[in-house]
Amino acid sequence: MSATPVHFSDTERAALGAFWHPVAYVSELGDAPCRVTLLDVDLVLWQHAGALSVAHDQCPHRGSRLSTGWVAEGQLVCPYHGLHFDGQGRCTRVPAQDPQTPISARLQLNTVLCVERYGLVWVCLSGTPRLPLPEWTALERADYQQYASHADWQVSAGRHVENFNDIAHFAWAHAGTFGAREQPLLLPERIEETPLGLRRTTRVAQAERDTFTDAAIVTEADYRYEFTYPFASSLRIAYPSLGTEWIYSAASPVGPAQTRIFILKARDYGQDEPLADWIAFQDAINEEDRRVVEQQRPRAIALDPAAEGHIVADAWSLAFRRRWASFGVNGPL
Ligand code: FES
Ligand SMILES: [Fe+2]
């Protein structure tokens, strides 16, 4: 069993860097520059006059970290010699020299393509995204109750994505929340390849525990999964009596075994119920997942199908793994 590498290879970084990845919530950004890491690459995010810019977090002068600087009058200021940069990454001011002196063209920031959507900042390191952003339409419904959170897991993005899209673990890893240990058998299912990823619909047994007797009341819900490469998952759950809930998750690969997970949820019922209960229930489910997934070894997926054993319920995971070769990614993922 090979250990997961500490860093992405240049080939893998280039291949994964050709997709959109979320790196932060817009609401997390303040007046100061903010540092994030994507695919081992440190980036600086800063806001200026209502716009947002992203660049490699390294000053082109002497390599200082720009994210430890500040923003003044819409310019990003390096904390070492005070060079100023505008939203396009152009150096506009070198305080130590006469303003009439031409500024070297080498003092240009290495800017990165970015876009804001669903309250998230998405970046594409290559500048030419291979696929569009996922369509997460329920987040555009002002009449739905919604919330967004994030979590950091010590696993690869691929391990997280496979966990999110795996159903066979519900009865076991989620027996403490909604999993129906009494009904672990899954229905046969068909995985549909789409231009952006994978889709499937199925019916899933869920359990609710009676508060007094702890007896399980098993019900069924319709699940529709819609996945967009590289790591954006969406799940729509239609509960027979309650209504519909959407869970969106985008895994951002910080490093080969370090992932920031952005979770955004919406529901068309329970608007009057406290948001805190809904969040707490999802947090409990996420924690059940994290406890298992962070213990998986290796921490990243080896894409070779012979690397692990498989069960019938792994059809989604095998389809997910298959397409990576066409994107130039051979793992670990
Ligand atoms: S290192 Fe940034 S201004 Fe000198
Ligand atoms: Fe789970």
Give the separation between CA 239 and CA 220, rounded to whole angstroms: 7
- Please name the residue whose Cα sits nearest to atom 1 of ligand 1: 62
The atom number, within ligand 1, closest to the CA of 62 reads 1
Residue type, 206: Q
Give the binding-site residues of ligand 1, using a 6 Å CB cut-off.
59, 61-62, 64, 78, 80-81, 83
| Residues 145 and 294 occupy one common structural domain | yes
pLDDT for 214 equals 74
Cα–Cα distance between 160 and 226 in angstroms, integer? Answer: 15
- pTM of the predicted model, to two decimals? 0.96
Looking at residue 216, its pLDDT comes to: 82
* pLDDT exceeds cutoff 60 at 1: no
Ligand 1, atom 4, residue with closest C-alpha: 81
The answer as to whether 14 is a domain residue is no
- Atom of ligand 1 at shortest range from CA of 66: 2
pLDDT at 50: 87
Write down the pLDDT at residue 212: 78
Mean pLDDT of 279-284: 96
- 129-153 pLDDT, tens digit per residue, is 999 999 999 999 999 999 999 999 9
pLDDT band at 56 (very low <50, low <70, confident <90, very high): very high
Cα separation, 281 vs 275, in Å, equals 10
The terminus-to-terminus CA distance of the chain in angstroms comes to 15
- Using the mean position of ligand 1's atoms as its centre, give its distance from the Cα of residue 60 in Å: 7
Integer Cα distance of 134 and 17 in angstroms: 16
- We report the CATH number of the domain holding residue 120 as 2.102.10.10
Same domain, 53 and 120: yes
Do 209 and 244 lie in a common domain? yes
The predicted model gives 104-110 an average pLDDT of 98
pLDDT for 53 beyond 60: yes
Distances (CA, A) of 318 to 72, 158, 235: 50, 12, 19
Give the domain range for residue 118: 20-124
Distance of alpha carbon 170 from alpha carbon 179, whole angstroms: 5
**What is the tally of structural domains in the chain?**
2
* Residue 288 within any structural domain of the chain: yes
Confidence at 2, pLDDT banded by 50, 70, 90:
low
- Give the pLDDT confidence of 195-248 residue by residue, as tens digits: 999 999 999 999 987 777 778 899 999 999 999 999 999 999 999 989 999 999
pLDDT digit string, tens, across residues 252-272: 999 999 999 999 999 999 999
What does R_g of the chain's alpha carbons equal in angstroms?
A: 22
pLDDT at 331: 87
Q: Which of 58, 65, 75, 83 to mutate to test the pocket of ligand 1 (most atoms within 8 A of CB)?
A: 83
- Looking at residue 210, which CATH number applies to its domain? 3.90.380.10
* Closest CA to ligand 1's atom 3: 81
325-331 average pLDDT score: 94
Residues 91, 172: Cα–Cα separation, whole Å: 56
Pocket test for ligand 1, best of 44, 56, 62, 66 (most atoms within 8 A of CB): 62
Quick check: helix, strand or coil at residue 313?
A: helix
Task: State whether 196 and 75 are in the same domain.
Answer: no
* C-alpha 172 to ligand 2 mean position (Å): 9
Percent of the chain past pLDDT 70, that is, above it, reads: 99
